[in-house]
A and B are shown apart, each in its own frame.
Chain A
Amino acid sequence: MTKAKRKRLIYNLITFALVIAAFIILQSMIANKMISRSLKGQLVPICAWIVMAVSLNLVIGFSGELSLGHAGFMSVGAYTGAIISGWLLQVYEVQDTTLRLVLAMVAGGLIAGIAGVLIGIPVLRLRGDYLAIVTLAFGEIIRSLVNVLYVGVADGKLHFSFLNKNMPAGVSMLVDGAKGAVKIKPVATFTAGFVLILITLVVVLNLVNSRAGRAIQATRDNRIAAESMGVPVTKYKMMAFVTAAVLAGMAGALYGLNSSTVIPTQFTFNQSINVLVFVVLGGLGNVLGSVVSATLLTVLPEVLRAFADYRMLVYAIVLILVMVFTNNPTIRAFADRLFAPVKAIFRRSKKKTAGGDAQ
């Protein structure tokens, strides 16, 4: 095995190990009632935001396109999930919550993927800033559309409309315009979120370390050179964009089915920017970084609730400090010098164990 491959394998193993370890620890904490109520309520959203961050990293970090409409795909998934789950319950009387959740997440991913294809066709012909602006616009269009979407079940049938008055009498509403998806039976579980994270990690990490993933990264590093080597750039940008949309849709379904209502204003431009912050903070192209930063930045505002009025201020300062510390070369060099003795100890002990292995 080559050096680069081994390094990558270790990185992937650490990523999986950390996620699995965190899950086991949290599960045992839940079993022993060692976890606060508010944190417990945050577990499923954290899973959803991790999936959002990792999938957006595929678009921004690996295919190099700045997409500002990622929350749009999440809302497509959330609404689809709520509709499918409600429809299965009311029309087919599916009582199995796991089955409803899985079908809702699959459907959410599918519909978000279709939205990704439709949006990707015009958008991926653009480059740089233009692409960013247009994805932003599409995110807002999706939000505006669901704002006037009415879906209800009557006589065992689903009814869709963009006008409230088109709904038949005696309808049981699933989506009620600006009020959002209503009367959702929350079926999302932490375990489902954990499984979704694992699926996301497998898909993204395996994809980027394959032929298609290398093509995606080549289009990022140099478009003309990639085309000259016979790599169809638009195809691979589309592949990254749609894969990310599918994962965001599944995360959206999970997120939506965690509460009793989903309203359109939950998926504004601000949320897209939030996910972007997770990705940039964790490092472009750094999947483990996305996982960690999405977790910390979702928990942080809750932890800071004690400071009430100042919490957004503290949040912003933390953000700025982390960005400076991780990206400023001078400060990084300083930190490297600071930690050099610690690293030396590690290296020595590593050598020792390596020697031990050889004997």
Chain B
Amino acid sequence: MSQLPKKHRSDTKMVPVPSHSIVPERDVNEIPVLETRHLGIEFGGLKAVDDFNLTIGKTEIAGLIGPNGAGKTTVFNMLTKVYEPTTGAVLINGKDLHGMSIVQASKLGIARTFQNIRLFDKMTVEENVRIGLHNQIKYDMFSGIFRLPRYWKQERKQHEKAMELLDIFGMQDLADEEAGSLPYGAQRRLEIVRALATDPKLLLLDEPAAGMNPKETEELMENIAKIRDQFQIAILLIEHDMSLVMGVCEGICVLNFGKVIAKGTADEIQANPVVIEAYLGKKKEG
């Protein structure tokens, strides 16, 4: 198990694309799932994120790292339209998100988890996943109230799909538990399942390993790779646990004070003096 990170460290060949980014070689001929151009946001004159450019390939696992307060979650909030960017553009599968609502962005295929867990606490685990299926398996309000045949059919479909998704993390047994009463690690996993239920093209994970022990983190790492392989989607994750980032991410982008300071593979990032300086500070002269 000890060499697990090594096993997962992708030997993917990363190739440069015109937008000053790198994507896996296998995705180079596909439309990138995410492309941001000169993305920036100001809060009262303060530039929280400035000139953020990132391209993610169709099936890439990418990492977004940086010291605390670097603007990583702000980037996520712009990608999901929680914040409206002040400058620049976000393209999902080549479609501009400009002027879209959070709901419309979700329908385009972008799903996320939250740094501070945001589950539907008073609903059961299964119901949480069913909310993720809201736009996948539908029926109208009247079928629901009058229990028309469509209700029973679609409810069964929702149940089966929710169970199938919960099975990714072996959480079927917890289906009837109240989401708010789950242990911390399980809540984080449930957030991922719920996001997957929306059938995303791009999954954003905001510190998925926060609060997990090393064993749980290792399992999570395996599962992230498994999810990508099974669903053939792109994943962008924010994480402070470097063993996870270096172990699973193919391309890594480093943010500091709202600006991208480095991009590259795990090896390149680890050897980059600018990144080391951002994390550890500058060596004193003399």
Contacts and interface: CB of A to CB of B under 8 A. Distances in A.
A32 interface: no
Interface string A40-79: 0000000000000000000000000000000000000000
Contacts of B80: 228
A273 interface: no
A210 B138 CA distance: 10
Nearest to B125: A4
A217 B106 contact: no
B144 A207 contact: yes
Contacts of B175: 2, 4
Given A215-B134, A217-B123, A218-B123, A229 B111 contact: yes
Contacts of B118: 222, 224-225
A206 B147 contact: yes
B46 interface: no
Nearest to A225: B118
Contacts of B194: 229
B120 A218 contact: yes
Nearest to B82: A224
Given A2-B175, A215-B131, A227 B126 contact: no
B53 interface: no
A225 B119 contact: yes
Contacts of A215: 131, 134
Contacts of A211: 130, 134, 138-139, 144, 154-155, 158
Contact of B111 (A3, A202, A206, A228): A228
B112 A214 contact: no
B257 interface: no
Contact of B106 (A209, A221, A230): A230
A203 interface: yes
B151 interface: yes
B223 to A, nearest CB: 20
B91 interface: no
Nearest to A221: B120
Nearest to A226: B131
Contacts of B119: 221-222, 225
Q: Which of A217, A225, A228 has the most CB of B within 10 A?
A: A228
A148 interface: no
Contacts of A229: 106, 111, 131-132, 134, 194-195, 197-198
Interface string B136-162: 001111011111000100110010000
A222 B128 CA distance: 11
A231 interface: yes
Contacts of B123: 214, 217-218, 221
Contacts of A231: 103, 131, 134
B121 interface: yes
A139 interface: no
A168 interface: no
Interface in A282-318: 285
B256 interface: no
Nearest to A203: B145
Contacts of A233: 103
Nearest to B124: A4
Contacts of A212: 140-141, 144
B120 A228 contact: no
A213 interface: yes
B212 interface: no
B102 A227 contact: yes
A217 B145 contact: no
A109 to B, nearest CB: 14
Q: Which of A207, A215, A221 has the most CB of B within 10 A?
A: A221
B107 A230 contact: yes
A207 B143 CA distance: 10
B95 to A, nearest CB: 16
Contacts of B139: 210-211
A239 interface: yes
Interface in B99-119: 101-103, 106-107, 111-112, 114, 118-119
Contacts of B145: 202-203, 206-207, 210
B126 A206 contact: no
A232 interface: yes
Given A4-B124, A230-B135, A210 B151 contact: yes
Contacts of A232: 103
Contacts of B158: 211
What are the 4 closest A-B residue pairs judged by CB atoms, nearest first? Answer: A210-B144, A230-B106, A221-B120, A225-B118
16 contacts: A2-B176, A4-B124, A206-B147, A207-B144, A209-B144, A210-B143, A212-B144, A217-B123, A222-B119, A224-B102, A225-B120, A227-B102, A227-B103, A228-B106, A229-B131, A229-B134
Given A206-B146, A226-B120, A230-B135, 9 more contacts: A4-B126, A206-B145, A207-B144, A211-B138, A211-B144, A214-B123, A221-B123, A222-B120, A226-B131
Interface of B: 80, 82, 101-103, 106-107, 111-112, 114, 118-124, 126-127, 130-132, 134-135, 138-141, 143-147, 151, 154-155, 158, 175-176, 194-195, 197-198
